[in-house]
Structure 1
Amino acid sequence: MSTTQTEKPDVPAAGGNAPPGEKPSAGGDDAAPREKPLSPPQFILYLEGPAYANSLRQLTLWTHHVLLPVYGREITSTAPWCGRWWEHPEAVAQLHSLWLAWGELTGPGSAVVGPATWHRDYLTTAMTALRDPQGPFAGCKPGMHRPKEAPKVDAMDPFGPPPPPPA
């Protein structure tokens, strides 16, 4: 059915507001303007200020309410974890990428093999790297956080920052 400027289409336009659980139907060319599709979340290391804080809050909720209750194994000297993981940039990056993959592979509309793919391709790799004794939590123990110092860039490194100008 074709609609005119004064008629309302019977169904929402593609990308419009369909009720939860229903797919939007295609509307005519004269249908109301379509909503702008949501852009995918940006990787947390590219964010600053309020955008970083908001992403970290969402990551924290997922980590504390999904990841750790289900996949957080006992803390040992060979499998450390830091209760202040958000203070370890590598951990934030690893967990954020794990969370993004979780959303893509287990969310509505994902393939039925999505969760198995997430477990096989993302969970084990990320948790192994995070819980490695030489990983980002090396030196941290339950109830004790130890900040890690990043390696320093040699001033003579051709890819590092230029040396300061002569005085």
Structure 2
Amino acid sequence: MSDEPEEVPRLDVPVGMFEDIEDLKAQLAQLTTLVKTLTGGDDAEPGEASVDDEAAAGEEADEEAAEEDEWQYPPFILLLDPPEYDDELRALIEWVEGVLVPGYLAEPSADARWCHLWFEHSVAIARLHAVWLAWQELTDPASCGYTGPSVWHRDHMDPALRELRGSSGPFSGCTKGEHQIEHRLPSVVPSAWSHGTD
């Protein structure tokens, strides 16, 4: 009896498969060269990493995880204490005065109020900060695609400006040249605003 199979099965290889394999080999060679260049490891075998490289990569991953755990999202401005509050307010003022006012606010009127001292109205600070946080997220095509600005206008800017500039908004007592702050603070501060320092 012979060890040879009686009939050799015929394997049909799809047309173009060999070209695909050659393309993959070329891409693998390019990636291997790139990895060696970036890591400076010309002596190392492909797929081999030094202990130092692994330790460094582990430390970087730990640092990134610690940073994410420490502060994952931008803070809501009313929850901040000085000096963080002051820094955030300064950045918000730059954005409002540099982007929002020249680009979106026409001359104030009885139907569309605006106060040049808007940063003294806590309601305005809260609403504009929320709009600014949304703007930072929704104007980056990498994170939100190309429809982000449209969503920002529809869901964030337009409703906020309607509330701020309306006849019952925080600027209702402010007219050209006159500034008035309506203090409508709650008698009890919400627990979320107390920072849990009890």
TM bin, normalised by shorter chain, reads 0.7 to 0.9
Write the deviation string for residues 59-112 of structure 1: whole angstroms up to 9, x where unpaired.
Answer: 001101111111112200111100000110100000000001001111352311
In the alignment, structure 1 residue 122 sits paired with structure 2 residue 149: no
1:145 paired residue number: 179
Match of 1:53 among 77, 86, 110: 86
* Among candidates 165, 168, 171, match of residue 131 of structure 1: 165
TM-score under structure 2 normalisation?
Answer: 0.62
**1:33 equivalent in alignment to 2:55:** no
TM (norm. structure 1) is 0.72
**1:159: which partner in 2?**
none
Structure 1 pair 78–103 and aligned structure 2 pair: CA distance change class (3 A):
same
Distance 2:121 2:85 in 1: 14
Distance 1:52 1:151 in 2: 19
How many corresponding residue pairs?
134
Residue 64, structure 1, aligned to residue 97, structure 2: yes
The structure with the larger Rg is 2
CA distance in 2, matches of 1:95, 1:113: 21
Which digits, 9 at most, give the CA deviation of each residue in 1:7-53, with x for residues without a partner? x5xxxxxxxxxxxxxxxxxxx68625233346311000101110110
**Unaligned stretches of 5+ in structure 1?**
9-27, 155-167
Kindly indicate whether residue 142 of structure 2 is the aligned counterpart of residue 109 of structure 1. Answer: yes
User: What SS does the aligned partner of 2:83 have?
Assistant: helix
The structure with more helix, counted as a fraction of residues: 2
Residues 101-124 of structure 1 show CA distances to partners (whole Å, capped at 9, x for unaligned) of: 001111352311100100111111
- Specify every segment of 5 or more residues in structure 2 that has no aligned partner in the other structure, as ranges: 1-46, 189-198
Indicate conservation of the 8 Å contact 1:101/1:122, yes or no. yes
Change in CA separation of 1:105 and 1:144 when aligned onto 2, cut-off 3 Å:
same
- The whole-number CA distance in structure 2 between the counterparts of 1:44 and 1:68 is 20
Amino acid at match of 1:33: E
